[in-house]
Structure 1
Amino acid sequence: MVPENADAPPERVVAGLSSDAVSITASFDGSNILIYGAVAREAPVPDGPPLEVIVTIEGPSQALTVRRKTRQVGIWINTESLEVGAAPSFYVVSTSGPLDQILQPDWDTRYRISVPLAMRSFAGELTVEDTVPFTEALVRLREGNGLYRTDEAGVNVVDQTLFNADIRLPANLIEGDYKTRIFLLREGRIIDVFRAPIEVRKVGIERWLYRLAFDRPLLYGLMSLAVAIAAGWGASSAFRLLRRR
């Protein structure tokens, strides 16, 4: 876990996480990560607007296609699509105040902090004139699934020196390496950035099935078929027994 800037700024982040690894088991229903830290400085707290803190956690990025349906001749069909080169599978922003008030737009663009800017790029040739409706639709869908979230006032800052944030990770996480970023801000400008990794891995039977599906898809498919047949036979037998009674 290292700060991003090579030269030490007047105020620096010193932070830690309650856990840098999350294990996904058969009974996994989500997890909480406590992020805590302090501001290291060699001079008194500067005068002016108070210090602000933003925390982001980003899951592995994925390429995907967003499609728009329109009604034609009484049926809904796909008419336009946008290929997003990289969209985080999970993204949460937790802040010490309203995001649009504590972060200047040009700094948001530089670090891609807000949820809409977390999309990295568009793949291939653009086939639509306006990409905004497509990215907004993707954000709405993932917000509805609990995968994208903005928690304004989710970071507690004490005396412009100590801070903490309790961030909830949902049950529908995918396996991979997650990235944590902690930003210090004054007057809407970022003065220091701290980064830390979180490893999310399946364990136990979940891990075994996950690897089996990718490494031996034929065997995985045969096992799934056998389980389905056994479940159907069991349900049929139980139903016949109930009818006899």
Structure 2
Amino acid sequence: MFTGLIEEIGTLRRSARQGQAMVLIIEAKKVLEDVQIGDSIAVNGVCLTVIDYDQSCFTADVMPETFRHTTLHQLKPGQPVNLERAMSAKGRFGGHMVQGHVDTTAQIVKRESEDNAVYFAFTPQDLSTLKYIVAKGSVTIDGISLTVVEADEEQFSVSIIPHTLQETVLKYKFPGDYINLECDLLGKYVEKLLFYADGSDRQPASVSGSRSGLSRQFLLDNGF
């Protein structure tokens, strides 16, 4: 679990690819301070497992599923990446609950300055993910916890303060570039639960073809 607060910008030193499998070697400093084999580090919002490390770099595997659904396969040696260690139980929860499980990639369709902020608009490759994105809700862009400004059926937007822009890879991103998108976890669970009727073990409506048992009367009967 992560918070979406980027700890540092690392650099991809080297990558090796075999089919749709990759090994990434990433140069870093802060995230290596207490690193151990098996630790989770989010790289541009993708949760990866440390399989090796030294004083300046860590190594992580990328499996085909991750290769296909994230931007990691687009990285070139020398490119910067957002890095965040898994959340510490002793730390502050400054962002929101981020799993590091990318839902889809999204293309930047607009970047413009507005006084001290920079406005970004995105179009997801999978438009169905927009149902989880709501105005003033949370969204994760390349591992960064951000607040949604606007959202419709085709795109959504966020506004970035100068500190966030300076301390993340968004300062290098422009229209046409792609980012990793993770929607708020809460909406996914709510949608899943709504598929089920009143505590029964019936299959979701999407599988069984039946409608959910959730109704106004059901909510009234159960004290809502």
Instruction: Give the structure, 1 or 2, with the largest relative contact order (CA under 8 Å, sep 6 or more).
Output: 1
Give the TM-score category using the shorter length: under 0.3
Larger radius of gyration: 1
- TM, length-normalised to structure 1: 0.26
Quick check: which one's strand share is greater?
A: 1
- TM, length-normalised to structure 2: 0.28
